Amino acid sequence: MQNLKMPDFKIGSETYELKTPRGNGKNTIYDVINKHKKQSNRFVISLDETEIDIQSAEL
């Protein structure tokens, strides 16, 4: 089962991947999503471990 990509959450038929970025750069969230986009096309981003504020995080 190596390299098996599984999403963190499934609600109904929709899958979601939870990510908690730790960087503070302008591309931090984009890079996290891009790296894990094969796991799901929907993401929940926790900003608990970064100094990025919600306004800066809006894509």
Q: pLDDT digit string (tens) for 1-59?
A: 566 777 888 999 998 999 999 999 889 999 999 998 888 889 999 999 999 888 887 76
Whole-number pLDDT of residue 37: 86
- Residue 16, Cα to own-chain centre: how many angstroms? 9
Range of the domain at 38: 9-57
Residues, the chain, total?
59
What CA–CA distance (Å, rounded) separates 29 from 3? 23
Domain for residue 29, yes or no?
yes
Domain for residue 27, yes or no?
yes
Nearest C-alpha neighbor of 36 from the set 49, 19, 53: 19
Q: Tell me if 52 sits within 8 A of 19, measured CB to CB.
A: no
Whole-number pLDDT of residue 26: 85
Domain for residue 1, yes or no?
no
- Which residues are within 8 A (CB) of 26 and not within 5 positions of it... i.e. 6 or more apart? 56
Whole-number pLDDT of residue 46: 93
**Total domains, the chain:** 1
